[in-house]
Amino acid sequence: MVNLRLSIADFVIDLINKSELPIKLEDGYSDFVLEESTATASVQVIAHAGIPDSLQPATKPIYSADFEGNKLWEIFRIEDGLLFHVYSSTEPYQLQQVAKLNADLTVWDIYSEPVLDDQKSVLFPLLYPMGPLVMYYLTAKFDAIMIHGSGISDNGLGRIFTGVSGQGKTTMAKLWFDAGAEVLNDDRLIIRNQNGTYQIYNTPMFYQDEQRSAELKAIYSIHHSKENTLIKTEGASAVAGVTPNLIQHGYTKDLISHHLKFVTQIIDTIPVYKLGVVPNNSVVEFIRDYDR
Amino acid sequence: MDLNQIARNKQNFATKKVGEDLVLVPMKDNVAEMNAMFTLNEVGSFVWDNLNEESTRELLSLAIAEEFEVDEATAKTDLEEFLLQIQDMMNG
């Protein structure tokens, strides 16, 4: 029995509770809950209470992530899929969850330790960073990617500003917001191929926000500059400009190929620019003028 | 680094053809180094595709000369440029 349905990037995720405890989601998911839907789920998340000892890995991790020196999660290869050890983002080295993902990347079994919420024991199956892991493998399974970037909708024109940390993605979101554009998200986005057009979607964050999306019209790889500059890139150069900014677990050629293939498809129809940015409102008018 | 070593190292790269070019992503300890991604032009892509453990400089130069209808000297220069580029990347 499905206990909760989520819609993220127009993908349906079913949450199935196999425990006696209630399941809850962080506030950021509240606007992504589907009230009524008969759509087929892309992914199932099955929530279990407690972390069984049997889910200890027998091998070394094939991939791991750290944040500010603390382990955030590790991935192990197992016979019938992948095993994830997910650590608390607030209490270092505290094992928060263990999850199994089937080889088809469509069914998650997530084992969580109960936590107290309003003096009741509950499960948070998608507690950060588990939720973003589920989202990432959703995009890896289907025709989609996740990217670090600011996404805005400027009169319906979806623009993504991407780049490494410190190049001004959040600043760009603020500048476009001040100029009347809708900010889809300033950190993490999903791009999905919807019948030949590319849609940008926001995803649940740690704060509450409504679902947002726009049709992608241009991607800008940004860097600081003394003047606003725009250079259109083509072919392999465009692919090399965008792909490093994807959210990616590059431990298999299959995953890397998925990302490269998707970006190669995008650049067939969506222009990719190198954008030198002066971090004030002049850059907004500079881009709008370029489009006119 | 000789041709055989380069040919053996090919398995440590994920590749994607983009038009005539080839995008290469090096894998180190089985993890992709996306920031070390680089591209080969049409000639480099052709050499990459045809490079195997049986390859010799002579055979590859001849293949380049035939494929791109250039003289042998030009083909040799193109091949050496490719090898320098690929060695830099593999050593990097």
A144-291 carries CATH number 1.10.760.10: no
Count contacts between A and B (CB, < 8 Å).
55
**Residue B34: helix, strand or coil by DSSP?**
helix
Nearest CB partner across the interface for B34, out of A243, A251, A267: A243
Cis peptide leading into residue B26 (ω within 30°): no
Least confident interval from A78-82, A162-166, A203-207: A162-166
Give the pLDDT band (50/70/90) at residue A3. confident
Least confident interval from A92-106, A154-168, A227-241, B63-77: A154-168
pLDDT at B91 over 80: no
Best probe of the B interface among A146, A234, A239, A242, by most B CBs < 10 A, is A239
- Total residues belonging to chain A: 292
Burial B25-57 (b: 16+ CB within 10 A, else e): bbbeeebbebeebbbbeebbbbbbeebeeebee
Each domain of chain B, given as residue ranges in start order, spans 3-91
Give the pLDDT band (50/70/90) at residue A1. low
Q: How many other C-beta atoms can be found within 10 angstroms of the C-beta atom of residue B24?
A: 23
* Mean pLDDT, rounded, of chain A: 94
pLDDT at A98 over 90: yes
* pLDDT at residue B92, rounded to an integer: 66
Q: Which residues on chain B are in Cβ contact (under 8 Å) with A242?
A: none
> pLDDT digit string (tens) for B39-70?
999 999 999 999 999 999 999 999 999 999 99
* pLDDT at residue A68, rounded to an integer: 80
* ipTM (interface predicted TM): 0.85
Residues whose CB is less than 8 angstroms from the CB of residue A17 and which lie 6 or more positions away in sequence, other chains included: A3, A4, A23, A47, A123
Each domain of chain A, given as residue ranges in start order, spans 4-141, 144-291
DSSP β-bridge partners for residue B46: none
Task: Tell the burial category of A145 from Cβ atoms under 10 Å away from its Cβ (0-12, 13-18, 19+).
Answer: buried
> pLDDT digit string (tens) for A107-152?
999 999 999 998 999 999 999 999 999 999 999 999 999 999 999 9
Please state, in angstroms and rounded to a whole number, the distance separating the CA atoms of residues B82 and B76: 10
Burial A14-48 (b: 16+ CB within 10 A, else e): bbbbebebebbbbebbeebeeeeeeeebbbbbbbb
Give the pLDDT band (50/70/90) at residue A185. very high
Give the pLDDT band (50/70/90) at residue A96. very high
pLDDT at A168 over 90: no
Q: How many other C-beta atoms can be found within 10 angstroms of the C-beta atom of residue A148?
A: 17
pLDDT > 90 fraction of chain A, expressed in percent and rounded: 84
Q: What are phi and psi of A201, to 5 degrees?
A: -130, 145
The minimum CA-CA distance between A246 and chain B, rounded to whole Å, is 9
Give the pLDDT band (50/70/90) at residue A55. confident
